Amino acid sequence: MRSTRLTALLTVVAGLIFIAASLPKIANPHTFAKNVYQYQLSPVAAINIIAIYLPWLELICGTAILLSIRYRKAALITAAALLAVFTVAIGINVCRGLNIACGCFSADEEGMRIGWMKIGENIAFFTVLCLLATIKKDRYFTLDYRRNIS
């Protein structure tokens, strides 16, 4: 029972993290596009597309994880894949010696900077997402369960 509650708590926290990360970027796509540009990893033509669609993907994943809707496992895997890409991008730029804003929870250029600590945080969060995706689904707390009992 205790592990069920811990799983439910971690699921809620994971969903809220992705939602919280998406909202400032959705509100200010122009500034987030500057963050994406600073990473110097995507073609210039793709920067605006990434800056517009990526935060919405984060919001959709976070909402699906938070509400434990039918596609929670897919949302967890997608969120883990996004986090893996983010971590690799940060790692590349840390190795390049760039001191840029990570664009994680803020589109502000003076926000949290990339670094080894951020990579460690991302790896820890990635591990939690992967564990949540592999743990047996607790159907009692999901919308699917309520739909199936009616």
pLDDT > 90 fraction of the chain, expressed in percent and rounded: 36
pLDDT over 90 at 43, yes or no: yes
Short-list 104, 83, 129, CA closest to 22:
104
Read off the pTM. Answer: 0.79
Short-list 88, 93, 90, 27, CA closest to 55:
27
Q: Is residue 101 very low, low, confident or very high in pLDDT (cuts 50, 70, 90)?
A: confident
Give the residue with greater pLDDT, 131 vs 92.
92
Q: What is the pLDDT of residue 140?
A: 45
pLDDT in tens, 112-122: 788 899 899 88
